[in-house]
Amino acid sequence: MQEIKLNNCERQKRWAWESIQAGLFRFNVKNLALGQYQQAGTFFINESKNVLITFLVAKSVIDGQMTLGAMMAVQYIIGQLNSPIEQMLNFIQQLQDAKISLERLNEIRDITNEEPEGKSFMSELPIGKDITLNDLSFTYPGAGNDPVLSNINLTIPEGKTTAIVGMSGSGKTTILKLLLRFYEPQYGDIKVDHTYLSQISFRFWRGICGVVMQDGFIFSDNIVRNIAVGDEYPDQEKLKKAIHVANITDFIRSLPLGLNTRIGAEGNGISQGQRQRILIARAVYKNPEYIFFDEATNALDAINEKVIMENLEAFFKGRTVVIVAHRLSTVKNADNIIVMKNGIITEQGTHAELTSKRGDYFELVKNQLELGA
């Protein structure tokens, strides 16, 4: 509604809404007509049966093949049959509706399981924990032929922070999605040490990854259950640490029921910055080995960002971190900065190395990345 008012497009949106309603109305009329045809059909079949049998038995009586008493008995039996036959025809109609609904449900049921039974996956990490992307190319399924990522060769070293920067649409988020195995690359592979990522169990891998994505979801539940997702008995120590790192102590104190305050679906009723801090707390609570942050702090004010980045720097120690960010303050301390352009890696190195090179990173810093402290 806000966007509609701000863009003065009430009239167009109203017409679009009315056209949808008119379509729905036509559909409902068709539906009603079909129901009427079916009812009329049922009535016609039933009455035709009555007329036919009455005609045949009456003829038999006239021809002397049947007594009047037998005709009355047949008429009585037919009368008794009317209701069950009507019910049976209604049942056939409902069966057809149920069949259509089942077909739709089956479309979801037929989606193949990520971890099919009978196929074994590794539930432990190899000794080395570096992640490597080797000659990786990727196109989103059904999204045309242009690859979103082309020939990506990249090492994400264990225990270090790797930042990915680049223009909007250059493929940064896609790399994270591939690392989290939401999609499989069409060409090339991802390995942890010498083990293919595809050999590692999805559940195990996602269990050791702490993630904040741009579209991270806030559940319609209280704050504890939004931080300790899926944990029936949240660990109080871990919770305390997560709240501290995400700097949400004051925010929680200001709420009427503190940690037990319910927040609306998708985070309604809290600001973007508070939403991001809850998502950061969720990632920290998991105590993960790998951390993937996609624009995790872009909605934070400068003071909050500074505090959280300091807390995170201590938290990141010894963990393998990949950060996608547009803010220079977030990326400049990374051990390695990857620069992406149109789905390829154009440069990589430390902040000092890349700025002295005066290439794409330098241009980004100059034109796009916010020149923070």
Ligand X SMILES: Nc1ncnc2c1ncn2[C@@H]1O[C@H](COP(=O)(O)OP(=O)(O)OP(=O)(O)O)[C@@H](O)[C@H]1O
Tokens matching residue 55: 């005609």
Nearer to ligand X, 60 or 151 (CB): 151
Q: 211 has which bridge partners?
A: 292
Q: Is 185 in the site for ligand X (CB under 6 A)?
A: no
Nearer to ligand X, 169 or 207 (CB): 169
Q: Is 330 in the site for ligand X (CB under 6 A)?
A: no
Residues 335-364: x where in contact with ligand X by CB under 6 A, - otherwise, as a string: ------------------------------
- In angstroms, give the least distance from the CB of 143 to ligand X: 4
Q: Given the rule CB under 6 A, which of 52-60, 103-111, 152-160, 163-171 is the region that contacts ligand X?
A: 163-171
Q: Which of 154, 161, 172, 320 binds ligand X (CB under 6 A)?
A: 172
- In angstroms, give the least distance from the CB of 104 to ligand X: 23
Nearer to ligand X, 285 or 361 (CB): 361
Separation CA 102–CA 124 (nearest Å): 39
Q: Is 173 in the site for ligand X (CB under 6 A)?
A: yes
Per CB under 6 A, which of residues 100..159 are in contact with ligand X?
140, 143, 148
- In angstroms, give the least distance from the CB of 191 to ligand X: 21
Q: Is 169 in the site for ligand X (CB under 6 A)?
A: yes
Q: 152 has which bridge partners?
A: 136
Q: Is 276 in the site for ligand X (CB under 6 A)?
A: no
359 burial type by CB count under 10 A (0-12 exposed, 13-18 middle, 19+ buried): middle
Separation CA 320–CA 335 (nearest Å): 11
- In angstroms, give the least distance from the CB of 269 to ligand X: 26
- Angle value at C-alpha 347, between 342 and 350, nearest 5 degrees: 135
Separation CA 102–CA 111 (nearest Å): 15
Q: Which of 166, 185, 210, 216 binds ligand X (CB under 6 A)?
A: 166
In the block, residue with structure tokens 């049942």: 91
66 burial type by CB count under 10 A (0-12 exposed, 13-18 middle, 19+ buried): middle
Nearer to ligand X, 159 or 372 (CB): 372
Q: Which of 2, 101, 113, 168 binds ligand X (CB under 6 A)?
A: 168
Q: Is 6 in the site for ligand X (CB under 6 A)?
A: no
**How far apart, in Å, are the Cα atoms of 345 and each of 185, 195, 278, 294?**
16, 23, 32, 17
Q: Is 174 in the site for ligand X (CB under 6 A)?
A: yes
In the block, residue with structure tokens 């008493």: 69
- In angstroms, give the least distance from the CB of 142 to ligand X: 8
Q: Which of 171, 216, 267, 273 binds ligand X (CB under 6 A)?
A: 171
# residues near ligand X by CB under 6 A: 11
In the block, residue with structure tokens 């399981």: 113
- In angstroms, give the least distance from the CB of 172 to ligand X: 4
- In angstroms, give the least distance from the CB of 36 to ligand X: 44
Interacting residues of 209 by C-beta distance below 8 A, sequence separation 6+ = 180, 286, 288, 289, 290, 291, 292
Interacting residues of 283 by C-beta distance below 8 A, sequence separation 6+ = 210, 211, 212, 291, 293, 296
Nearer to ligand X, 244 or 341 (CB): 341
Q: Which residues of 234-264 are buried (b: 16+ CB within 10 A; e: fewer)?
A: beeebbebbbebbbbeebbeebeeebebebe
Tokens matching residue 148: 């979103």
Residues forming contacts to ligand X in the complex (CB under 6 A) are: 140, 143, 148, 166, 168-174
